[in-house]
Amino acid sequence: MTHIRCHTKALSPPLFRTDRILSSLALCAVVALSPSSLALAVNITTSGSVIGQTPEIVGYNSGHFMPNSNTADWWRFSGVNGARIFSTPTVVEASDDLAPWGDGVSSQATFVTRRDNLRANPLSPTYINCPTSKAVPNNPTSGSNNINLKYAFGQLHDLGIDSLAQIGYTNSSFPGDPAGTVAGWADRWETMAHFYIQAFYLAKNFDVHRFQMYNEPNADDIPADEWQERLRFSSDAVQAAVADVNRIYGKSLIAEMQGPVSAGDPVAKYPMWGQPTVTNLHTNEVGAVDPNFQAMQAYDYQLYADGSIATADAFRRKAGIDQKSRHCRCGRCAAEVCDLRVQCPHRSELRPDKQYARYSIGILSLRLNPGPDG
């Protein structure tokens, strides 16, 4: 046991700051009470016993984020290290980047050929007519939140914030023709191309490596099987883009696609929106089983209700999760992210009964540092 005596002294309001000193033993906070408050002595006793794991990422869902605003200061002064930004596809690509729609892709063979050619030369406008330096525009998103995407990602990057890009490729904005048809392959190529260019640009310029493809699909009009197929195409694009950024620019980013980002009781939603993807985790966009591919690396859901912790425990039991975690909540909203990457060196693949290596619960999407067993 270690005993620490921390002295706190009130500061006058003009001198109040949010500077923090974090040691491996204790966190001593300076609290402003009033200019006349006396110094206080507080005894803190620390223990060598581990009672839980600290979430790796704590963050906010972004609202308005425009130049000449104080939004970035909110992140800076709050001390969080995560952000979730809606990088709206219809803003990033307001019209088809390269006519005609589908760029000549009409079959699986032409899809694979064009994908491979794009990856071999991602900076060429031959395959995507959108320079990677301008893939995220200065014009803001509209609607409930106005976000200048280039400014927001840049500010967050400079603050050391780990950003999560929510690229809402919705069924209403991008309806897909049936799989296996000429029109269907054109639609799937456009999905692939859009996610590739966004992920490439965001990874190259702002080190973004975490992505979501659809926000709360169970509350939208997309059928679950179509969502699962769309996830595979977008996930392959994201992982390919991040890998190509690493190869070309010497980075070491680890791509993470999160899903299903469902809303409501995760136990009830799991059979339709989670289990099929987890069961077929290594099925790639063309329907082949590839052990080097994962449709998603993190299982994410969003819960807007009291009793979030109890529901999270029930979800973990249903999904075969056997770890313990430290729970963090904020108000009525909780989100859980279960890491699907294999962390344990003694396992070579994910087992159906032990599908998750690590997980957490929190405001936005929190991941735990892996313990001795991953």
Same domain, 199 and 84: yes
Single pTM value for the model: 0.75
Across 230-246, average pLDDT: 97
| Whether residue 353 sits in one domain with residue 273 | yes
The string of pLDDT tens digits covering residues 203-236 is: 999 999 999 999 999 999 899 999 999 999 999 9
In a domain, 369, yes or no: no
- Res 320: pLDDT: 59
| Residue 367 is assigned to a structural domain of this protein | no
8 and 103 both lie in a single domain: no
Between these two residues, 219 and 360, which has the higher pLDDT value? Answer: 219
What CA–CA distances, in Å, run from 68 to 57, 155, 189?
27, 12, 38
Task: Identify whether residues 126 and 234 lie together within a single domain.
Answer: yes
Mean pLDDT of 90-111: 87
**65 found inside a domain:** yes
**Do 171 and 228 share a domain, yes or no?**
yes
Whether residue 96 is found in the same domain as residue 221? yes
Amino acid, single-letter form, for residue 264: G
For residues 240 and 351, membership in a common domain is answered with: yes
In terms of residue numbers, what domain contains 271? 59-362
Query: Is 237 found in the same domain as 99?
Result: yes
- Decide if 373 is inside a domain: no
What does the pLDDT average to over 349-370?
Answer: 30
**Are both 299 and 341 inside the same structural domain?**
yes
Query: Residue 336 — pLDDT band, cuts 50, 70, 90?
Result: low
- Number of domains observed in the structure of the chain: 2
Residue 372 placed within a domain: no
- Are 26 and 148 within one domain? no
pLDDT score at 299: 84
User: Which helix (H) or strand (E) element contains residue 258?
Assistant: strand 256-263
Question: Does 328 map to a domain?
Answer: yes
Average pLDDT over residues 122-129: 86
The CA-CA-CA angle for residues 301, 304, 306, to 5°, reads 120
Residue by residue, DSSP assigns 311-339 as: HHHHHHHHHT------B--BTTEEEEEEE
Q: Please indicate, yes or no, if residue 370 is contained in any of the structural domains.
A: no
CB 166 within 8 A of CB 257: no
Residue 319: how many other CB atoms lie within 10 Å: 20
- Whether 288 shows a pLDDT value over 90: the answer reads yes
Q: Which residue has the tokens 């000449």?
A: 68
Same domain, 92 and 15: no
> How far apart are the C-alpha atoms of 59 and 328, rounded to whole Å?
12
d(CA 28, CA 42): 9
In a domain, 192, yes or no: yes
Is 349 a residue whose pLDDT tops 80?
Answer: no
36 with 81, same domain: the answer is no
The burial class, CB within 10 Å (0-12 / 13-18 / 19+), for 158 is exposed
Three-class SS of residue 82? strand
Residue 340 has pLDDT above 70, yes or no: no
